[in-house]
Structure 1
């Protein structure tokens, strides 16, 4: 297990080196943006664009005690409460400790957390799908189109580290460890709600096996605490926003400021976006919903089919609960590519490593193709979504 973790870490670092080259190349195209970059844009400037700027604001100034209002609509404007505190506060602590600036500290912290996530991911996958598939999965995940964000001042890396820790603990029935980590997840990124579903399924599976593996009273209590902790984690940050601002809906109002129409509407934005994607076609109203339905069927079939048996109930549940959660709370726009990073177990399925009695065929050939495609797509992601192009783009 230690060997696969080491190789996974090396693969991750190698691919982060490739991403660094892409960022340096893109920096020559990036114009200086006051408040975001220096006068001469370099690698570190590229790491604090977009959401990175918000995390720098939190690290330097904290959160507003009064919610800002949009003067045009009167609704709550975009503000720092949309961004969870663990990453920026850790960055601030390291800044105070080292005397280094936010871009250096935050990008390094993200890189190191991503390294830890890749190594832990390899170990937890190796227990289910074997070391070869686990290593190939980490390599493909580290080359994912939005994997560049693993070295930016974003929360993807630290969220992946904590998430892998939670899944690792749940798979081992280490309920108290899972409880502690899921509470940490509650201040890292808004993904604790689907983790609560995973926790519930894991506890149910453990309960159903009580005849062959009896459950002690202590384990019942620890399992209940883990389930309660996951529920609490899902509402921790909204409650904190309420406590500081005095507004019960501070968090949801803030998140709505980024949504189309200024409100959070489950499912409907996905249908609207699917139609928009095919807007240049005469039958967009048909092609959009059909494509969306195909995506939904694929996301359900991948973890439920026999090709995913080796993932086990916890990882399969995660791959079902997380997309369902995104469908409810998310508008599918540019960030959706980054939000796909936590679905790493599905990579093992695509590589053919999830069958119960069948070895993955052409494993390394598949992985090499997907890594190559991912790296090319990273270039597109950086050039299209990360590079700031005025006046069509604008800082928050």
Structure 2
């Protein structure tokens, strides 16, 4: 037995379509407020980076487009998947670790514009960031209303590592694809969700979290309606194809079905349940000033876990909980470079929903003051971070 809107005639269907179009217009107009807030916060972060970089005789443009992972993406554009680098400890690092959608887009833009691959990557992030903010707004609005959606987009822009959203990295692109896919799941647009999930899977390994979220939503929907329609099944099949396709391609090149895992192991990345991360924290509790870093990691991890608990207690839809849980598990329980963990948590935007809801209930200009303070702190931290250790 399926649950629907009941039988409707042609006239009634036309009336429903007209009503949907008329209600979509004010939603789109309101979404621009969230996109504008996101853009303003990111502009503040970029201004702080430019000023800080000048004071340190560094090039802000190079920090955004030509360091760390962004260089690996450029190498993929320039030479294909053929580049390796021998680390000082003898490990051979391969560019096969980097998923292909961002370098594909960089290559396409470089072919039709005067931009080089690095600047094309900046353009991709410049477009993807506002698109992600738009999807975050719609998700927050769908679950908790306009103010929550607006504040979700703003708080995501103002997280401490928000400067990564403006770099030639894949985080902004991935979050945009993941957020739109999850919103499509919440609205039961299964084919659209499956296509977006597949693209997310071509962007980062954690793209499989988006596919898992779609599957969770599909199970909930099938139990609710007691049937599996063709569109739901199509979306569920499409969702993992991007990630699975790339992993299988790497496996074929490496001559092993586990080839991609071997590539990640060469980079020092593996899933160990958080043992290496725990040891890293303990090692930073033994003296001054490294103890501050250890305490900061403990506080940050505890805050992320508390936020996830708040998401569960707040009754977030299962697809969002599944997605966020997998993103957190892969970020916190892997043995990779520990300085990357805050960046790896950046796509876990549902963690910020309880914060956005709490801020939306504040009276007067309290929420504006909180977001403003977060934005300034994020701008200062991002400028300092990129002029220092940065987000490799």
SS in 2 for 1:196: helix
Aligned equivalent of 2:309, options 297, 301, 316: 301
Task: Using the TM superposition, give the Cα deviation of residue 207 of structure 1 relative to its aligned residue in structure 2, in angstroms.
Answer: 2.1
Confirm or deny: 8 A CA contact 1:201 1:317 kept in the other structure. yes
In structure 2, the CA distance between the partners of 1:296 and 1:128, relative to structure 1 (3 Å rule), is closer
Do the aligned partners of residues 388 and 199 (structure 1) sit closer, same or farther apart at CA in structure 2, a change above 3 Å counting?
same
Pairwise CA distance, 1:368:
3.0
Structure 1: segments with no counterpart, 5+ residues:
33-40
Residues 1:163 and 1:70: Cα distance change in structure 2 (over 3 Å): same
Partner of 1:15: 41
Deviation at 1:334, TM superposition (A): 1.4
Aligned residue-pair number: 363
Mapping of residues 122-271 of structure 1, within 5 Å? 122-210=137-225, 215=227, 219=229, 221-259=230-268, 264-271=271-278
Q: Are residues 316 and 42 of structure 1, via their aligned partners in 2, closer, same or farther at CA, if it must alter by over 3 Å?
A: closer
SS at match of 2:115: coil
SS at match of 2:239: helix
| Structure 2 match to 1:335 | 340
C-alpha distance in 2 between matches for 1:314 and 1:361: 28
Look up the match of 1:6. 32
Shift of the 98–293 alpha-carbon distance from structure 1 to 2, 3 Å rule, reads closer
**1:376 has 2:377 as partner:** yes
State the distance in 1 between where 2:383 and 2:296 align: 26
Q: Aligned residue for 2:11?
A: none
Counterpart contact for 1:196–1:230, Cα < 8 Å: yes
* Per-residue CA distance 1:90-148 (angstroms, 9 max, x = gap): 11111110122233322122111111111122112211110111101111111111111
The TM-score normalised by the length of structure 1 is 0.80
Distance change (3 Å), C-alpha of 1:300 and 1:5:
closer
Match of 2:387 in 1: 387
Cα deviation code 1:29-68 (max 9, x no counterpart)? 5667xxxxxxxx3435543221111111112222118x66
Structure 1 residues 89, 320: CA separation in 2 closer, same or farther (over 3 Å shift)?
A: same
Equivalence for 2:74:
56
The alignment yields a C-alpha RMSD, in angstroms, of 3.2
Q: Judging changes above 3 Å, is the alpha-carbon distance between structure 1 residues 103 and 23 closer, same or farther for their aligned structure 2 residues?
A: farther
* Structure 2 unmatched runs, 5+: 1-26
More deviation, 246-255/270-279: 246-255
